Amino acid sequence: MNPRENLNINIHQITDPSLLIDLGIRYHSGERYAEAIPVLTRAIELDRLSQEWLHYNFRSKCYKALNKFDLALQDILCARKIVPDNDWCISEEISLRLKLEQWQTVVDLCSNHLVPSRKCSLRYFDYAYALAELDRHREAVLNWLAVLSYNKYHYAARFNLGLTYVALKDYPNAADAFAKVVQDNPEDVEAREQLRDALKKAQRYNEVLRQSFEIYQLTKAERVQPLVDYARFSFLQHHETVHQGNHFQKLMAVESDLYSEIKPQLPIKLRSSLQHHNMTRDSIAHFANNPSFLKAHPFFDRLDQKIDEYDEACEPPFKRRKL
């Protein structure tokens, strides 16, 4: 029987629970979750004596597919009363409590059902996620690392590890975590942006510029922040020639060209609020001899300030990644 075909059946005429379960599973397989629920409910009513936990299991799946997580959780709790040590039911309860943001209950469940094995790596992930939500970041780090000890390619765990290090203001370790994500996922712009920000906090400025250049190349200036860092990166490329020849006019031309490149790509409101700063001979000389390009010129300081204001107003905060 095709699960998507029209099943015009009067379920109240069926008295065999196994037939109802089979029908409910067919509805579920055909993604007809709302129709599956009354069928499975009828099966549960007829089969109270056997207390078959699978009835609750399948109805819970239907509720979950309809985003009715509270009802799905009630069914899983009924199933767990019948089979309290069933590992699948425990995992499903944890999953549903995560959906309902019951962080402390998730922590309690996971801590009571953790086994140091690869099979349990997803439970370590859930445990770390709930700990991080409760701001228990040091414990979360240990559990993110546990996930990665069983699966070093679990990129969501490594990304979340980086965010947890950021919460602890451990920026060098945060940068290392994001760098490993980027190494294996070079087009992951979100990870690159987190890496860039962690590198800034760790004061590894040359790496900041290179990451900003990569973000600029990947996003084609969809985001504002990489533009100014890309300009700085370009200045770095020009710096050696300018400094050796002490060519002040050339440096001014470079600065002017870069501003011309950035300005058309900025949002209109931001663009209109910025004014080109003409460098004096003294400031050019200072700039050409100053290796700290992040503080070398007021143009960048003002541009940074405006960009920060713009990004804070428009950019949503990054969130931990889920499975």
Do residue 323 and residue 223 come from a single domain?
yes
Question: Can you tell me the distance from the alpha carbon of 188 to that of 231, in angstroms, rounded to the nearest whole number?
Answer: 22
- Residue 322 counted as domain residue: yes
User: What is the per-residue pLDDT for 178?
Assistant: 96
Is-contact 294 254, C-beta < 8 A?
Answer: no
Is-contact 100 76, C-beta < 8 A?
Answer: no
Which are the contacts of 241, defined by CB distance < 8 A and separation ≥ 6?
247, 250
HEC sequence for 226-262: HHHHHHHHHHHHHHHHHHHHCCHHHHHHHHHHHHHHH
Question: Can you tell me the distance from the alpha carbon of 123 to that of 79, in angstroms, rounded to the nearest whole number?
Answer: 19
CATH of the domain at 169: 1.25.40.10
Do residue 224 and residue 189 come from a single domain?
no
Chain centre to alpha carbon of residue 59: 30
Of 168, 203, 238, which marks where a domain is finished? 203
User: What is the per-residue pLDDT for 116?
Assistant: 79
Do residue 52 and residue 71 come from a single domain?
yes
Do residue 57 and residue 105 come from a single domain?
no
- Residue 288 counted as domain residue: yes
Q: Which structural domain, as residue segments, surrounds residue 115?
A: 101-203
Chain centre to alpha carbon of residue 156: 7
User: What is the per-residue pLDDT for 75?
Assistant: 95
Do residue 83 and residue 122 come from a single domain?
no
Do residue 198 and residue 227 come from a single domain?
no
Of 50, 75, 93, which marks where a domain is finished? 93
Residue 210 CA neighbour count, 13 Å, CB half: 7
Q: Is the pTM of this model over 0.75?
A: no
Do residue 311 and residue 289 come from a single domain?
yes
Do residue 182 and residue 120 come from a single domain?
yes
Q: What tokens appear for 122 in the block?
A: 């997803």
- Residue 213 counted as domain residue: no
Among 313, 256, 308, 257, smallest CA distance to 279 is for 256
Using N-to-C axis directions, what is the helix angle for 121-133 and 103-112, rounded to 10°? Answer: 150
Quote the number of domains for the chain: 3
User: What is the per-residue pLDDT for 115?
Assistant: 80
Of 44, 66, 93, which marks where a domain is finished? 93
- Residue 7 counted as domain residue: yes
- Residue 214 counted as domain residue: no
User: What is the per-residue pLDDT for 271?
Assistant: 45
Do residue 168 and residue 247 come from a single domain?
no
Do residue 254 and residue 230 come from a single domain?
yes
pLDDT averaged per 10 residues in sequence order, the chain, 323 residues: 51 77 87 91 78 86 96 95 92 95 96 83 93 96 95 93 96 96 92 91 78 74 53 49 42 48 49 40 40 45 49 50 61
HEC sequence for 168-209: CCCHHHHHHHHHHHHHHCCCCHHHHHHHHHHHHHCCCHHHHH
- Residue 293 counted as domain residue: yes
Question: What number of other Cβ atoms are within 10 A of residue 218's Cβ?
Answer: 15
User: What is the per-residue pLDDT for 305?
Assistant: 54
